[in-house]
Amino acid sequence: MGRTSPYLNNIAYYLLLVYSFVLMLSIPLAEWLAVLMLIIWVAQTLAYRRREWLTYPLFLPIITMILYNILVLLVSGHDGRFGRVIEQLTLPLIYFIVPSIVVNSERRMRVIWLFIAGACLAAGIGVIRYLIGDVGRATSFTSECTTLAYFLAFAFVMTLAIYAYSTKTSEKIFLGLVTFPLVLGLILTMTRAAYLAAALSLAILGFLKERKLLLVGTAIVVVACLVFPSTRDKVAQRFDISNAQSFFSHREVLLDLGLDRARDMPFFGYGLNSFPEVVNVAAEERIRAKDIMEWHNMYLKALLDGGPLGLVILIWLFAAQTRVTLTRFRKTKDRDQKTFQLGILLLLLSLAVIGLFDTVLTIRIVAMLTWLLLGLSII
């Protein structure tokens, strides 16, 4: 770790703690905190000529992704508001900021617990709004149901990793209590991609590490279904395959359209956030839901927005992080380090799975959380 100003670093650390807690509660506050942390990081980098960030595992993939997106922007342009483009170019910088602030595993666990606490609070808000009939599916005050679902799924898999390496019965009971609002909130979002990511993580960890996790997870779901019987019927409708069009939510149509457009796309793609430019939803008879504004597939979006190289860079980023995380997980003897690297592996699995059904890394809150967690993996 390079030289820093202890005073400025402590300020940035407390900002990061607040940032971790409010991510799902106040987007404007989280963004301002991120800006302040960026300013402190840049100031210290210039003042002390710090260079350690050049050695971070994702330095080359992230810098390449940012520079390539700038090239795509210049060559192919963009669709929609320019502020969204700026977010996509700058949010990955969170990855470089976090390790210089969180300098040890103790600080890292504080950040993780505040993130989980914020997720539990957001889940509680979503459950209350659903129960009073304010919304048809659990949402937060700042985002729709799918964003809340992905956020809770990531909190859930990180909690699973902590549970897997906890040694005391009291710790396991506490973690079970923490997990309940996360699972309940996740269920009430009725977001199938998040269900799949959470279920896969639970099943893999249960079979490979601790079978009790399967019992605990099943028990929580059963209790939730017993407490909210009407919700059980709604969730069942979401998995009704008798109506294929409703079940797939037009994703098979979008995939077919995307692959068809890919045959004629320019080398640098159609431009950032190009879906409205590429697909005329109003005129496309096969798409009945006229409010669709994205490809609902992270990989298809990368391909069509930035061409073949855009997809290659995305896969490179995932592969690089997976390789480094697996290496650290296998080699470390430290329980805290092993716990967190396991959590990152489950996070990567969740991202890869959800990416098949949604453009998850372009969702502002989810992207801010993802880069935060990947940055913590360096500690």
Please check whether residues 122 and 197 belong to one and the same domain.
yes
pLDDT at residue number 210: 73
**% of the chain at pLDDT higher than 90:** 61
Q: pLDDT value at position 280?
A: 85
Three-state secondary structure along the chain? CCCCCHHHHHHHHHHHHHHHHHCCCCHHHHHHHHHHHHHHHHHHHHHHCCCHHHHCCCHHHHHHHHHHHHHHHHHHCECCCHHHHHHHHHHHHHHHHHHHHCCCHHHHHHHHHHHHHHHHHHHHHHHHHHHCCCCCCCCCCCCCHHHHHHHHHHHHHHHHHHHHCCCCHHHHHHHHHHHHHHHHHHHHHCCHHHHHHHHHHHHHHHHHCCCHHHHHHHHHHHHHHHHCHHHHHHHHHHCCCCCHHHHHCCHHHHHHHHHHHHCCCCCCCCCECCHHHHCCCCCCCCCCCCCCCCCCCHHHHHHHHHHHHHHHHHHHHHHHHHHHHHHHHHHCCCHHHHHHHHHHHHHHHHHHHHCCCCCHHHCHHHHHHHHHHHHHCCC
> Is position 106 within any domain?
no
Q: What is the pLDDT of residue 169?
A: 87
Average pLDDT, the chain: 89
Among 201, 220, 249, identify where a domain stops.
249
Q: Closest Cα to residue 73, out of 263, 268, 314, 293?
A: 268
pLDDT score of 123 more than 80: yes
Q: Are residues 84 and 150 in the same domain?
A: no
Asked if residue 15 is part of any domain, the answer here is yes
Residue 272: phi, psi to the nearest 5?
-65, 135
Query: In the chain, pLDDT over 70 holds for what percent of residues?
Result: 92
The answer as to whether 107 is a domain residue is: no
Residue 242 predicted with pLDDT over 80: no
Q: Is residue 108 part of a domain?
A: no
Are 133 and 242 found together in one domain? yes
On the question of pLDDT at 348 being above 70, the answer is yes
CA 103 to chain centre: 23
pLDDT for the residue numbered 206: 85
Residues 352, 97 contacting (CB under 8 angstroms): no
> What is the Cα–Cα distance from 189 to 138, expressed in whole angstroms?
5
Identify the band that residue 244 occupies on the pLDDT scale cut at 50, 70 and 90: low
Structure tokens at 228: 């909210």
In a shared domain, residues 315 and 214: no
346: pLDDT strictly greater than 90: yes
Domain of 282 in residue numbering reads as 55-101+259-379
Higher-pLDDT residue of 98, 219: 98
User: What local confidence, expressed as pLDDT, does residue 283 receive?
Assistant: 80
Q: Say yes or no to pLDDT of 1 above 70.
A: no
Confidence check: pLDDT of 124 > 60: yes
Angle (CA) 78 31 63, round 5°:
55
Q: 292: pLDDT confidence band, cut at 50, 70 and 90?
A: confident
Asked if the model's pLDDT at residue 94 lies above 80, the reply is: yes
Structural domains counted in the chain:
3
Judgement on whether residues 139 and 38 belong to the same structural domain of the protein: no
CB 238 within 8 Å of CB 190: yes
Residue with tokens 């985002």: 143
Q: Residue-wise over 39-70: b if at least 16 C-beta within 10 A, else e?
A: ebbeebbeeeebeebeebbbeebbebbbebbe
Under the banding of pLDDT at 50, 70 and 90, the label for residue 246 is low
Q: What is the reported pLDDT for 349? A: 96
Task: Let me know if residue 254 belongs to a domain.
Answer: no
Q: Which of 249, 283, 318 is the last residue of a domain?
A: 249
Range with the lowest mean pLDDT among 130-134, 234-238, 331-335?
Answer: 234-238
> Helix 169-189 crosses helix 212-227 at what angle (to 10 degrees)?
50
Q: Which domain-ending residue is among 215, 249, 283?
A: 249
Give the separation between CA 259 and CA 251, rounded to whole angstroms.
Answer: 12
Say what the pLDDT of residue 345 is: 96
Q: Distance between CA atoms of 188 and 128, rounded to whole angstroms?
A: 10
Verify that 93 and 163 share a domain, yes or no.
Answer: no
Question: Is residue 239 very low, low, confident or very high in pLDDT (cuts 50, 70, 90)?
Answer: low
The total of other beta-carbon atoms located within 10 Å of residue 104's CB is: 10
More confident residue, 17 or 241: 17
The answer on 245 and 201 residing in a single domain is yes
